A and B are shown apart, each in its own frame.
Chain A
Amino acid sequence: MKKSAVVLMVLVTGLFAASFAFAAGQQEGQAAGGKIKIAMVVKSLGNTFFDAAHQGGEQAAKELGNVDLIYQGPSTPTPEGQIALIDSLIAQRVNAIEISANDTDALVPIAKKAMAAGIKVISFDSGIAPDGRILHLAASNDELIGRSEVQIIAKLLNYQGEIAILSATAQATNQNTWIDYMKKELQDPKYANMKLDAVVYGDDLADKSYREATGLFKSYPNLKGIISPTTVGIMYTAKAIEDAGLAGKIQLTGLGLPSQMKQYITDGTCQEMELWNPIDLGYTATYISYLLVKGNVTSVSPGQSFTVGKMGSLTVGDNNVVVMGKPFVFDKSNIDKFASIY
């Protein structure tokens, strides 16, 4: 044992000494090749949503030319896993990191460290607190989501008829904010012939959502449309509509996962629904990262705008959040493509 301990000490000390000696030489390793290294760090790997975002990022990289896009994420969606990855990205001296954060706050210290090392850090999809990023890219915002849902159902109903909302839980912050904007949108005179009968809660549970939807058909015989701004709710409402033979008589829209809603969109139970387009999201995040590196931009301010390739011009808003726009609409024409993505 004594011997092995000595051998161990010698080896470890030797290796550390060697690494110190190398350290000086390594410092100038940068700038070789001239390619801009952008790292996309996602919540976890094996998530098709982010694989699609990666696909969009690659599109941007290809369009921009000299970009090397690194796609990385932990195997489980933890902030600690992302922190370890960001540490190794700092060590690799990438030029920019775009993150979909597993924790708004826990990533702030490491993101600050990255920015102090000269790396441009932005968040997309799921944000880091303002201290820890140059800007955040959001697929949409609460107001656009809420209002656009009403606009879609109104279009499907020719601006007349009774509607209802089937939400997640009564405490769900996101859904409640969107519903507030739906109500505001409904105050516009062009919706004078429409009436909101009720808001019910399916708690994002399959059976409860199904029962609440069936309950709506019974309680409101004149019901013409349902908005369900939750992926579980919209799927089981679609099933309830179909089971009750009401397809075509009651229109449905909301936020749904293309893969889960493909059958109902194809058969017309739900003609249009919304969600994010992960490809555009990844494209935009990568494009903006590139612009920040190229212009050596270390901070932005509200009102500033970026010209982002095929997405056109995007403007920085409050808290340095860049909003891409209204949610992306899925219908018969594009559902097949996106159903295979997520």
Chain B
Amino acid sequence: MTGQKSGTETSARAGTSRDGASRTRAHSLRNLATQWEMLLVYLLVAVFLVNSFISPYFLNAPNLLDSTFNFMEKAIMALPMMLVIICGDIDISVASNLALTSVFMGMASAAGAHTPVLILVGLVVGSALGWFNGMLITRFAIPSIAVTIGTLSLYRGIASVILGDGAYTVYPRSFAYFGQGYIPGTHVPFELVLFAVLAAGTGFLLHKTSFGRRVYAIGNNQTTTRFSGVNVDRYRLIAFTLNGLAAGIASILLTSRVGSTRPNIATGWELDVITTVVLGGVAITGGRGKIWGVALGVFLLGFLQFGMGLVNIPGQVMNIADGFILIIAIMAPELIRRGRAKASLSARRAAKAP
């Protein structure tokens, strides 16, 4: 896909000011990225094989489709999180955004709003909270980690103040469709289809448009990109707003799925979302990552969890497995890169030797 090419092209461009060795590095990074998605494919196949082997209930279409209910909201939040992380930023306030958005939808529902209005509230509030993050980060030049640590507490704090230990439990009947419904006549969850559509959209944006190319450029070298005439802050602001929008969509889906709102809804999800993105091969330092990788990461983690649930592996052990996979995800590219650097170095030395 062109996105991967453009990503490495920009990193190569950024490297021209340095010595020629970075060219080699960019080249090996491209190979690595290709390998990374393949590694994920192999892992996914392994998960399928192992799960089918240990549980007779895994390789069953309705079961597999139903299991996706549990990770589609996180998957949808992972999509624009890709943009944010590729830009070299991070947003750890997404789960709090989801909670506060859900509270606003609950208030609207309690005031008698119908489903279309609730959807609108979800999309608008989610985007607004994301935009607010972006504003603080770009306007006042505060690191995104600092701002979103703040809004992580702020958004959930406001949700808790509004709701206390209460809950909104009354939603219109038709609202239940988004998080619980299937595409009519099939056993395919609406959430899954929505994810597929949004993932295709994100992939197009990242890999096929100039917007996407600039996002990679920003992540690779913000200063160079700025001097080449790109309004970097505008792109970052858009990324954060889209991230908020996705939190709003996820909020609609999750609120609909659990049919209620409590301030502790989706606690801790920000880490799951970031885990998915990093597992998908997006460099946490920015500038690199592909939609295929993230989509694979989503299903890899989701089916891994489902398989472990089917054989009743205790929750803590599931956490250990997740943590383990994340560490592999972060370390593997680095290890491969070092291995290659060493190999190319010794190759060059060997070439120089008489």
Using Cβ atoms and an 8 Å threshold, which residues of chain B touch A20?
A: 61
Interface pair B262/A19, CB less than 8 Å apart:
no
Tell me, yes or no, whether B229 is within 8 Å of chain A by CB.
Answer: no
Tell me, yes or no, whether B116 is within 8 Å of chain A by CB.
Answer: no
Tell me, yes or no, whether A193 is within 8 Å of chain B by CB.
Answer: no
Interface pair B262/A106, CB less than 8 Å apart:
yes
B271 smallest CB distance to A (angstroms):
11
Interface pair B316/A45, CB less than 8 Å apart:
yes
Stretch at the interface among B34-42, B146-154, B217-225: B34-42
Q: A1-42: which residues lie under 8 A (CB-CB) from chain B? A: 1-2, 4-5, 7-8, 11-12, 15-16, 18-20, 22-23, 26, 29, 39
B310's partner among A81, A91, A104 (CB-CB below 8 A) is: A91
B285 smallest CB distance to A (angstroms):
21
Chain A interface SS verdict (over half): helix
Q: A88-B306, A105-B259 are in contact. Are A73 and B69 (CB under 8 A)?
A: no
Closest to A4 in B: B38
Tell me, yes or no, whether B176 is within 8 Å of chain A by CB.
Answer: yes
Interface pair A19/B61, CB less than 8 Å apart:
yes
Interface pair A11/B45, CB less than 8 Å apart:
yes
Interface pair A91/B315, CB less than 8 Å apart:
no
Q: A82-96: which residues lie under 8 A (CB-CB) from chain B? A: 83-85, 87-93
Question: Could you say which interface size class chain A belongs to?
Answer: 35 or more
Closest to A132 in B: B259
Tell me, yes or no, whether B260 is within 8 Å of chain A by CB.
Answer: yes
Tell me, yes or no, whether A46 is within 8 Å of chain B by CB.
Answer: yes
Using Cβ atoms and an 8 Å threshold, which residues of chain B touch A130?
A: none
Using Cβ atoms and an 8 Å threshold, which residues of chain A touch B70?
A: 80, 83-84, 87
Using Cβ atoms and an 8 Å threshold, which residues of chain B touch A108?
A: 259-260
A248 smallest CB distance to B (angstroms):
39
Interface pair A23/B61, CB less than 8 Å apart:
yes
Stretch at the interface among B15-23, B52-60, B127-135, B193-201: B52-60
Closest to A20 in B: B61
Q: A70-B312, A84-B70 are in contact. Are A103 and B56 (CB under 8 A)?
A: no
Distance in angstroms between the alpha carbons of A22 and B38 in the assembled complex: 26
B314's partner among A23, A45, A88, A107 (CB-CB below 8 A) is: A45
- A54-83 interface bits toward B, Cβ cutoff 8 Å, 1 = contact, 0 = none: 000000000000000011111110111101
A8's partner among B262, B296, B312, B315 (CB-CB below 8 A) is: B296
Tell me, yes or no, whether A303 is within 8 Å of chain B by CB.
Answer: no
Interface pair B258/A79, CB less than 8 Å apart:
yes
Chain B interface SS verdict (over half): helix
Tell me, yes or no, whether A109 is within 8 Å of chain B by CB.
Answer: yes
Distance in angstroms between the alpha carbons of A22 and B62 in the assembled complex: 11
B265 smallest CB distance to A (angstroms):
7
Distance in angstroms between the alpha carbons of A89 and B313 in the assembled complex: 12
Tell me, yes or no, whether A269 is within 8 Å of chain B by CB.
Answer: no
Q: A23-B62, A87-B67 are in contact. Are A105 and B315 (CB under 8 A)?
A: no
Tell me, yes or no, whether B115 is within 8 Å of chain A by CB.
Answer: no
Tell me, yes or no, whether A44 is within 8 Å of chain B by CB.
Answer: yes
Q: A91-B66, A103-B258 are in contact. Are A75 and B318 (CB under 8 A)?
A: yes
Using Cβ atoms and an 8 Å threshold, which residues of chain A touch B59?
A: 18-19, 22-23, 26
Among A70, A74, A84, A107, residue most surrounded by chain B Cβ atoms (within 10 Å) = A84
Tell me, yes or no, whether B161 is within 8 Å of chain A by CB.
Answer: no
Interface pair B260/A105, CB less than 8 Å apart:
yes
Interface pair A93/B57, CB less than 8 Å apart:
yes
Q: Which 6 A-B pairs have the closest CB atoms?
A: A88-B309, A75-B315, A105-B260, A106-B258, A91-B63, A84-B70
Chosen A-B contacts, 21 in total, with CB atoms closer than 8 Å, are A4-B37, A4-B38, A5-B292, A8-B296, A11-B44, A22-B60, A23-B60, A45-B314, A75-B315, A78-B267, A79-B265, A84-B70, A87-B67, A87-B69, A88-B310, A88-B312, A91-B57, A91-B306, A103-B262, A104-B167, A106-B260
Which B residues form the contact surface with A (CB < 8 A)? 1, 4-5, 34, 37-38, 41, 44-45, 48, 55-57, 59-64, 66-67, 69-70, 167, 169, 176, 180, 254, 257-260, 262, 264-269, 290, 292, 296, 305-306, 309-310, 312, 314-316, 318-319
17 additional contacts (CB under 8 A) given A45-B316, A87-B306 = A1-B5, A1-B37, A4-B37, A4-B41, A4-B292, A16-B64, A18-B59, A29-B56, A45-B314, A80-B254, A89-B309, A91-B306, A92-B55, A105-B260, A106-B258, A108-B260, A109-B257
Which A residues form the contact surface with B (CB < 8 A)? 1-2, 4-5, 7-8, 11-12, 15-16, 18-20, 22-23, 26, 29, 39, 44-46, 70-76, 78-81, 83-85, 87-93, 103-110, 129
